[in-house]
Amino acid sequence: MYKNLIGLVDCNSFYCSCERIFRPDLKNKPVIVLSNNDGCAIARTNEAKTLGIEMGAPYFKIKNLCEKKNVAVFSTNFSLYNNISDRVMRLLKKECPEVEVYSVDEAFIDLSGIHNPEAFSRNLKDLIYKNIGIPVSIGVAPTKVLSKDANKIGKKSKKANGVVVLDSNRYIDIALERTKIEDLWGVGRANAEKMRSLGIKKAIDLKTYQNDKQIRKVFSILGLRMKKELEGIKCFPFNELIVKKKEIMCSRTFGDSVFSIIDLKRAISNYISNAAKKLRDQESKCLKVSVFARTNSFKSTPQYYMYGERILTNPTSNTLKLINIAHELIDLNFRDGFEYKKAGAKISSFMDQQEYQIDLLDEADTLANEKLMKAIDAINDREGEKTIKSLACGTDDQAWKMNRNFKSPRYTTSWGELFLF
């Protein structure tokens, strides 16, 4: 029997479930949510899945079916989904000793020290449904990879009723026996193929594979960690980001105080540019932008804290778009006559770029936009940081002293652990 378990809480058909909160008449009815411009189905309830509606199915192809079968069809409403996500995460943080938000609809919870993890999880699941109206599944196991697997099983099994606890090797092995290697968290399609060529078809085959060295050689240290996680050994510790950041913040204390809105905009444009580059590097898009600036609280001069944030309707990783939003936020919140000492920008509420690839042609981030950003990144990677930058970042070192600081390799960049939206 394992102790110190980790739970993965995952909202079922999250976008659809958000829509259902305000449409109780849609309970047990098929619901789908379409991508931007109503292109493809990006979320489906079980009832919609049963009708054969595939993930990513173009709407024009399923329109007739939807009409005939009375499928409730929604366009995306990200500000709603963000808000509901926020409520779910806040409830989790209130009820659980430690929470690691993994995505808009998923979070790991630390269950070490919880006497009866199964009862705790069932209670938590009921609480989320009663308070927020979102159905969740919870998978519990000694490691993150296993808890992801437990969650997947919990979603499919009627008997489990949304909670699966794998706390012994016997249960773990039964679960891994039923898991295809490509369905294991973190194993992409390319890796799955390589694994199959080694005779690893199911997750259990990876766990029992005799040659750790070969796994390491073919799949790097990550592959080996994956195997260890299946063996019940924690390799992706709690609150240590596995792959991607959940938010990116860039901030800096100015060498000299900044008084003008123009200088502040330049500073924040630089921070946004850095953050957006990192966002694209990890192939994510963001749905929230915030900016801040503050005066020196150690001085007896007048004090002001400027803050502005915006939730976006369309996820983006486009630097120019993000700079525009930041400027609007500064225009709304800037106050003249203060001596600003520090400023920063944060982007958060990330989505995977892949989730949006089906939608590249819509107005959110057009293909041309994406290409432009790619080209700029490629040139800057090759020729040096900010060889090409937005004019909003300023043109010379004279404009304000901070520009000199930008050349230093160390920005005061802090990586947050959780969504804070």
Closer Cβ to Mg ion, 147 or 269, answer by number: 147
Residue 359 interacts with Mg ion (CB under 5 A)? no
Q: How far is the CB of 155 from Mg ion (least distance, A)?
A: 8
Closer Cβ to Mg ion, 11 or 343, answer by number: 11
**What distance in Å separates the CA atoms of residue 132 and residue 21, rounded to the nearest whole number?**
8
Closer Cβ to Mg ion, 127 or 261, answer by number: 127
Residue 10 interacts with Mg ion (CB under 5 A)? yes
Closer Cβ to Mg ion, 135 or 416, answer by number: 135
Q: Which residue from 19, 47, 100, 105 is in contact with Mg ion, where contact means CB under 5 A?
A: 105
Residue 167 interacts with Mg ion (CB under 5 A)? no
User: What Å distances lie between residue 142 and 7, 8, 241, 348, CA to CA?
Assistant: 9, 11, 17, 29
Stretch that binds Mg ion, among 71-79, 100-108, 229-237, 264-272 (CB under 5 A): 100-108
| Nearest alpha carbon to residue 388 among 398, 400, 375, 399 | 375
Stretch that binds Mg ion, among 12-20, 41-49, 222-230, 380-388 (CB under 5 A): 12-20
Stretch that binds Mg ion, among 104-112, 274-282, 333-341, 377-385 (CB under 5 A): 104-112
**What distance in Å separates the CA atoms of residue 184 and residue 203, rounded to the nearest whole number?**
7
Closer Cβ to Mg ion, 138 or 376, answer by number: 138
Encoded amino acid at 184, one letter: L
Please give the size of the binding site for Mg ion, defined by CB under 5 A. Answer: 4
| Nearest alpha carbon to residue 97 among 119, 113, 115 | 113
Q: Is 405 helix (H, G, I), strand (E, B) or coil?
A: helix
What are the helix (H) ranges across 198-260? 203-207, 212-230
Q: How far is the CB of 126 from Mg ion (least distance, A)?
A: 18
The residues, ordered by sequence, that sit 6+ positions from 4 with a Cβ below 8 Å of its Cβ are: 111, 112, 113, 142
The residues, ordered by sequence, that sit 6+ positions from 142 with a Cβ below 8 Å of its Cβ are: 2, 4, 5, 6, 166, 167, 172, 232, 234
Stretch that binds Mg ion, among 2-10, 74-82, 305-313, 365-373 (CB under 5 A): 2-10
Can you say whether residue 384 is alpha, beta or left, with left for phi > 0 and alpha for psi between -120 and 50 degrees? left
> What does residue 70 show for φ and ψ, rounded to 5 degrees?
60, 45
Q: How far is the CB of 11 from Mg ion (least distance, A)?
A: 5
Q: Between 52 and 91, how does the x/- string for binding to Mg ion read (CB under 5 A)?
A: ----------------------------------------
The residues, ordered by sequence, that sit 6+ positions from 364 with a Cβ below 8 Å of its Cβ are: 36, 314, 315, 316, 356
Closer Cβ to Mg ion, 156 or 299, answer by number: 156
Q: Is 290 helix (H, G, I), strand (E, B) or coil?
A: strand
Specify which residues 43 forms β-bridges with.
Answer: 33
Q: How far is the CB of 105 from Mg ion (least distance, A)?
A: 4
Joined together, the tokens standing for residue 226 give 């994956």
**What distance in Å separates the CA atoms of residue 74 and residue 109, rounded to the nearest whole number?**
31
Residue 47 interacts with Mg ion (CB under 5 A)? no
Q: Which residue is nearest to Mg ion (CB)?
A: 105
* Radius of gyration of the chain measured on its C-alpha atoms: 24
Closer Cβ to Mg ion, 77 or 208, answer by number: 77
Residue 247 interacts with Mg ion (CB under 5 A)? no
Q: How far is the CB of 162 from Mg ion (least distance, A)?
A: 12
**What distance in Å separates the CA atoms of residue 101 and residue 54, rounded to the nearest whole number?**
27
Stretch that binds Mg ion, among 86-94, 98-106, 176-184, 304-312 (CB under 5 A): 98-106
Closer Cβ to Mg ion, 85 or 403, answer by number: 85
Q: How far is the CB of 15 from Mg ion (least distance, A)?
A: 9
Residue 18 interacts with Mg ion (CB under 5 A)? no
Residue 101 interacts with Mg ion (CB under 5 A)? no
User: What Å distances lie between residue 143 and 217, 265, 387, CA to CA?
Assistant: 23, 44, 44
Contact positions vs Mg ion (CB under 5 A) = 10-11, 14, 105
